[in-house]
Amino acid sequence: MTAACILGCAGQLVTAEERAFFRDVKPWGFILFARNIVDADQVRRLNDSLREAADDANALIFIDQEGGRVQRLKPPLARLRRPAALFGQLYGRDPEQAVEAVTLNHRLLAHELLSLGIDADCAPCMDLLHPKGHGVVGDRAFGADVAQVAALGRAAVDGLLAGGVVPVIKHIPGHGRAELDSHHAMPVVSTSLAELEETDFQPFRALADAAMAMTAHVTYRAVDPQDCVTLSHRAISTVIRGHIGFDGLLMSDDLSMRALGGSLAERTRRTMQAGCDVALHGNGALVGEPVRDLMAELRAVADHCGDLAGRAAERAADARAPARRSKPFDPNAAEARLDELGLAGHEAAASQDIFARAGLA
């Protein structure tokens, strides 16, 4: 059986202890953080080792590669990509060009990821930008307008899928109104349900056919005054599966984030009872924070997430289906077109041969 979890590992190779653990648990997928990345060959070997340890050649390897502030792969492995807000600004001048630019940008992201053996990206952010919202979203949002965010989010999804990388829309049903960073504390939103349904929930509703989505560690008083979305059966059943109509694979945001209280075992149990299909744990929530007792945390998640079965297993199979099915693509032509639009990727040395030097051509 396959465990209903996505797990990280501590370093740049799979240790003997981790290998034995993954062989026993068989997690559905893995997630990489900056701590796991040195160079192209090392990342490819690590991904091969993770899949081998889980005895699953089709295990998805996830990463957070949005561009802007959230980009685990950096030069020379991947160009520094522009933040979502810049594409949103272009949309205000020329919606058609903005959609083209986002599609190309995410097709390039997929090209870089898949060449390293990474076939799932925790992107795009479908959160609306709100003036009082915490900066943890900020320029990661495509904008404040529902139609704009929906259109550019769709373009991002299309670009990733064309490159054989499965997107994860986040943070469903919206993190933009949160005035606290859920990496550190629990945000509570008091906006009425009617207003939420007309605004923040709408971009997700427009992409309800996406293969995967990640929950928001945000408490909406109008939905469930006691529990955040990740831990709320009411929020998942009535909002995510109900109003939004999302029927793809639903994963939690990182269970090691400080917004959540209680032990990892309790967090995992409650996440699965609330209706998530898969529990995500990477122990990489706080940038610069040393990895804690990762193995103990991984064991707690694996012991309490249960096996992937029933409708969740069907969703998981559907989510994997597009992975690694990339279409023919000329990355240099795509980069040149983005350059014309003022949104090309870049690196410190401004070199144009990144694909060749990183072995990504």
Which positions are annotated as active-site residues? 183, 253
Helix (H) or strand (E) holding 331: helix 331-340
Residue type, 135: G
DSSP-derived 3-state class of residue 48: helix
Q: Hey, which bits of 227-348 come out as E strands?
A: 249-251, 279-281
Tokens, residue 69: 């502030």
Distance CA(128)–CA(141), nearest Å, equals: 6
* Residue 141 · residue 186 · CB < 8 Å: no
Tokens, residue 353: 């041969």
Rounded to 10 degrees, the C-alpha dihedral 196/199/201/202 comes to: 150
- Alpha-carbon Rg for the chain in angstroms: 19
Residue where the block lists tokens 């802007």: 68
Residue type, 119: D
* Residue 319 · residue 211 · CB < 8 Å: yes
State how far the alpha carbon of 120 is from the alpha carbons of 34, 123, 143, 245, in Å: 16, 9, 24, 22
User: Does 171 sit behind a cis peptide bond, omega within 30 degrees of 0 on the bond before it?
Assistant: yes
Distance CA(124)–CA(51), nearest Å, equals: 25
Residue where the block lists tokens 């099915």: 325
Residue type, 280: L
Which distant-in-sequence residues (6+ apart) come within 8 Å of 264 by Cβ? 255, 256, 281, 297, 300, 301
Which distant-in-sequence residues (6+ apart) come within 8 Å of 130 by Cβ? 144, 176, 177
Q: Angle, to 10 degrees, between the axis of helix 16-25 and the axis of helix 40-53?
A: 50
